[in-house]
Structure 1
């Protein structure tokens, strides 16, 4: 009976997608007479013992500890003593991240010590060893005092690099990546561990990891820790940076004369593009022409002017938002070209093209170097200016002149065929991409792709602005003397996020173009019909991107479906859309278990517990909301919709797409449920959670 109970408990824990991925094919057995929590066998297997009985949270903790120790012993067998403490550090951080418990509830006395921000002293480490020694695969040689002194130094070097993937992936970006212990989610309503029970169509904003992405990041994390244990921390991180740059280059068809700059976000990409434009021949002041900045990142207009766009940088340096970044000229100017009129309607493309060309010619005539943007695509799927307009705007003024503008393509949504990126680079244009939008990698992983003509500027006599040292490391850039002002080091969180995204990019890249197109077209038709069938919703007319071939192109489809939601207090027969603040509230409630808030007699009460993640509201003008901006929610088709994910394994692709379409219907039905009970929900103020309520106590995955 005891063995059966323990087995069922362990199986429930192993159903967790994060632990299932980490465990992989590792052999795990149970030994009810083992008094230690676990022990690692010489062959890497794990024996779980008596202290696991009766508590799912402690079972998960000890299993995570065992899995970490087993993995590190395999990768760094000669550093077993140090690995024991590294694994304990990761397990301790996992405990607090996983449970949100206080120190008094820790499953072992050493847990709060190993979770501290600073390395414990050698005496504390020595006192901890008796609890860790029995977990090793063989009796360890008793360490002496000098061993603990040396250990303290090793851990001081490693401490910031140790932790579960969920902790490390939240570093090297900004505060929006931090996981709220009360919810298990970050600012975007996402998790750095898989969340397959949530219905997710949020790829226009940010997505939680899939098991595939989690596995890609976990493999990279273990390589970094093992390298650090062996005294090769910098080499291991350098290898990861180079691998990411090479894989991004391969995915988009870059050549050896071109380059990839790794960036924490699309906004950082904007800053880097401006820095490279300032290195253009001629040394002229830069005018930066932005397309629809209100439909890109909120910090883009500041970055486009060479100013700090937040109060801290991805590397953790405190700065002043809006202040000029050291080394960026103070005569840089930003000019905006809107893509919607005052009523929120999309402007005609010829009108946008004409304005863009006129501004570019005027600025060039005034002796300024122009950095001209092509937006591909905006938050609502808009594409401009047209290729013909860009050709006209960038044509030489006359023989012998060297005033041609730089062009940077904002493709941060990454909703385009890689062949488009290759074509942009062939035109000498920079391209900004991310792995975190269409590709459904974790938020905050960007890259600036450099054509050969721009890449060569890094070999010139002028360096990058000194203030970029607060934003980026040298290893994130292609080789060149211009980057010498940047510090040595590596953004570990960015490395892990990109490896997660590249796992998704690789899976998507195996799907033939025609299959991608057909799957997207089928899904988008179903979404459009379902939104149109609900009177409480108003679909923004989808704008198909105007692109030339190739044959069977999928990126001519509008893959972001934006819609307004009718406010509960709209006048009878009218349609007042939710204002931005109200739409943000709806967005959060969709991603919340509302089962304790909705009356059981509502016909859709069963939907209350369903977690639904969609794209964040975009502020837009609406004629029926004249005094403030409305908030347009978005349902977006991402790469995982096409390629599937591990939790879909074995499912027929046609049936999987039908299920995805049904899930859109569940989202829209939950919107109706929320609208019917809006005052009640506003009074109760429910909070988002990683799991639906009650799952932790009874099981980890739903039936």
Structure 2
């Protein structure tokens, strides 16, 4: 609505056109919101050692929604079909496959709040323009597949798509739900080099479990990177972003699919895109507030020296492994070796920070339904008969969501986060306080696994 001074307005019992004063106040608020988006982009780039003259950022409601951005870029380039190779399907966000297939991944629009049909094709993507090719990283027994077998499957999918005259969007997963990085950068680079610019790469780093050095390296290779201020950094949920180098991706061409209105707001896209006339929603205030909160956690984490961060990550990881080993119902999964990392950084890209474990009862691994139920019970008080058990049952623990490893086995996860590190860093220069704090964490972890073990042993089979 705009001011209509030529109209005599006596309709305030229903609604009125805004006055010039009210409209100006709204305009100023909009300009401030746009500026806030720019400030948040600038701070994020500064924190990871990048600049706005080389990297663009789009803020998205989540890492899942961020899947639409590379697809929209490719749709704007030409009409050739896109083969979207989604690596680690099943260990990504629950609705990632929908978004990667150009389908709505929610039932409510994050931008406008209106209802949408989850799973429906997004308006504006030509029918059949995106074909999804999921790649699983575990075999039917739940074990990680051999690297060579995965590389062979991915190479065959890329070759077949190129042979059909399609373009390829290839996913690199920097950290799956269980902390796996796949495929190797060497394999991806070889596929890109042999493709005559028909293969583009997007890195799913929505877990945030990579160092600044690795993030910059991905972007320097021309890869688009999906990132988040939640997950590792402990910021609020639904704070996604896409970072990409201008030299490789440029600016969006042509009209974007109209259905992406449900996920984009003007303040979330770079001003140089000049999308004001196309994007109806001017501001997603909640998204900006969530990113402001997330950046506060990122900033606090980086105020701790890298080698101190590394030592804390090592100590916390050892405490988790030790606590898990004390209980026979807990079976901690081995983490893939990712090398030592650079000696002068915190090792976040190579260090295990997600700990995945199966639960065993009566000699059998528990399935998905049982594991989900146990996770819910861990978050609520539980009543037991024995006094020691009552104290343990009263405690509440939030664990990572269940992951289905195979049709017969599922796993739960716990993870180290940036707030854990910054909290421990307060005692970095006081050995006694540091030892005392680590003992408190060990006691908490023993209680966590102790309650879980107790629930496994006492729950009906």
Structure 1 and Structure 2 fold alike (TM over 0.5):
yes
Return the match for 1:296 from 92, 113, 135.
Answer: 92
The runs of 4+ residues in structure 1 deviating greater than 6 Å are 152-156, 228-231, 645-651
1:335 and 2:145 aligned: no
Contact 2:58-2:242 at 8 Å conserved across structures: yes
Question: Residues 359 and 676 from structure 1, CA distance in 2 versus in 1: closer, same or farther, beyond 3 angstroms?
Answer: closer
1:474 and 2:266 aligned: yes
- Count residues in correspondence: 439
| Structure 1 residue ranges without an equivalent (≥5) | 1-148, 157-227, 622-627, 683-703
Question: Residues 649 and 526 from structure 1, CA distance in 2 versus in 1: closer, same or farther, beyond 3 angstroms?
Answer: closer
Q: For residue 384 of structure 2, what is the aligned residue in structure 1?
A: 598
Question: Residues 394 and 609 from structure 1, CA distance in 2 versus in 1: closer, same or farther, beyond 3 angstroms?
Answer: same
Return the match for 2:415 from 606, 614, 636.
Answer: 636
Contact 1:370-1:405 at 8 Å conserved across structures: yes
**C-alpha separation in 2, matches of 1:584 and 1:648:** 36
1:463 and 2:255 aligned: yes
CA root-mean-square deviation: 2.8
Give, in angstroms, the shift of residue 309 of structure 1.
1.6
Give, in angstroms, the shift of residue 424 of structure 1.
0.5
**C-alpha separation in 1, matches of 2:174 and 2:120:** 29
Q: For residue 439 of structure 1, what is the aligned residue in structure 2?
A: 233
**C-alpha separation in 2, matches of 1:392 and 1:512:** 36
1:237 and 2:18 aligned: no
Question: Residues 650 and 521 from structure 1, CA distance in 2 versus in 1: closer, same or farther, beyond 3 angstroms?
Answer: closer
1:584 and 2:378 aligned: no
After TM superposition, the structure 1 stretch with the greater mean CA deviation from structure 2, 535-544 or 448-457, is 448-457
Return the match for 2:439 from 645, 650, 658.
Answer: 658
Q: For residue 496 of structure 1, what is the aligned residue in structure 2?
A: 289
Question: Residues 650 and 373 from structure 1, CA distance in 2 versus in 1: closer, same or farther, beyond 3 angstroms?
Answer: same
Q: For residue 243 of structure 2, what is the aligned residue in structure 1?
A: 449
Contact 2:333-2:355 at 8 Å conserved across structures: yes
**C-alpha separation in 1, matches of 2:359 and 2:229:** 29
**C-alpha separation in 2, matches of 1:367 and 1:546:** 37
Give, in angstroms, the shift of residue 584 of structure 1.
1.3
> Quick one: higher RCO (CA 8 Å, sep 6+), 1 or 2?
2
After TM superposition, the structure 1 stretch with the greater mean CA deviation from structure 2, 362-371 or 501-510, is 362-371
SS at match of 2:207: coil
**C-alpha separation in 2, matches of 1:154 and 1:511:** 53
Structure ranking higher in helix proportion: 1
For residues 280-317 of structure 1, give each alpha carbon's deviation from its aligned partner in whole angstroms, at most 9, with x where no partner exists. 4x542111001111000111111111111222221212
SS at match of 2:347: coil
1:324 and 2:121 aligned: yes
Give, in angstroms, the shift of residue 469 of structure 1.
0.8
The 5 Å alignment of 1:246-645 reads 246-255=42-51, 256-280=53-77, 282-315=78-111, 316-331=113-128, 332-397=130-195, 401=196, 403-458=197-252, 460=253, 462-478=254-270, 479-481=272-274, 484-546=277-339, 549=342, 551-555=344-348, 556-567=350-361, 570=362, 574=363, 576-594=364-382, 597-599=383-385, 601-621=386-406, 628-644=407-423
Contact 2:327-2:450 at 8 Å conserved across structures: no
Give, in angstroms, the shift of residue 547 of structure 1.
7.4
For residues 490-509 of structure 1, give each alpha carbon's deviation from its aligned partner in whole angstroms, at most 9, with x where no partner exists. 11111111111111000001
Contact 2:308-2:428 at 8 Å conserved across structures: no
**C-alpha separation in 2, matches of 1:546 and 1:490:** 43
**C-alpha separation in 2, matches of 1:604 and 1:155:** 63
For residues 420-459 of structure 1, give each alpha carbon's deviation from its aligned partner in whole angstroms, at most 9, with x where no partner exists. 110111001000011110001111110000111355232x
For residues 156-211 of structure 1, give each alpha carbon's deviation from its aligned partner in whole angstroms, at most 9, with x where no partner exists. 9xxxxxxxxxxxxxxxxxxxxxxxxxxxxxxxxxxxxxxxxxxxxxxxxxxxxxxx
Question: Residues 310 and 365 from structure 1, CA distance in 2 versus in 1: closer, same or farther, beyond 3 angstroms?
Answer: same
After TM superposition, the structure 1 stretch with the greater mean CA deviation from structure 2, 305-314 or 378-387, is 305-314
Give, in angstroms, the shift of residue 515 of structure 1.
1.4
SS at match of 2:336: coil
**C-alpha separation in 1, matches of 2:135 and 2:81:** 20
Q: For residue 8 of structure 2, what is the aligned residue in structure 1?
A: none
Q: For residue 185 of structure 1, what is the aligned residue in structure 2?
A: none
Contact 1:464-1:483 at 8 Å conserved across structures: no
If the length of structure 2 is used for normalisation, what is the TM-score?
A: 0.88
SS at match of 1:666: helix
Question: Residues 425 and 320 from structure 1, CA distance in 2 versus in 1: closer, same or farther, beyond 3 angstroms?
Answer: same
Give, in angstroms, the shift of residue 233 of structure 1.
2.1
Contact 2:65-2:105 at 8 Å conserved across structures: no
Larger radius of gyration: 1
| Structure 2 residue ranges without an equivalent (≥5) | 1-11
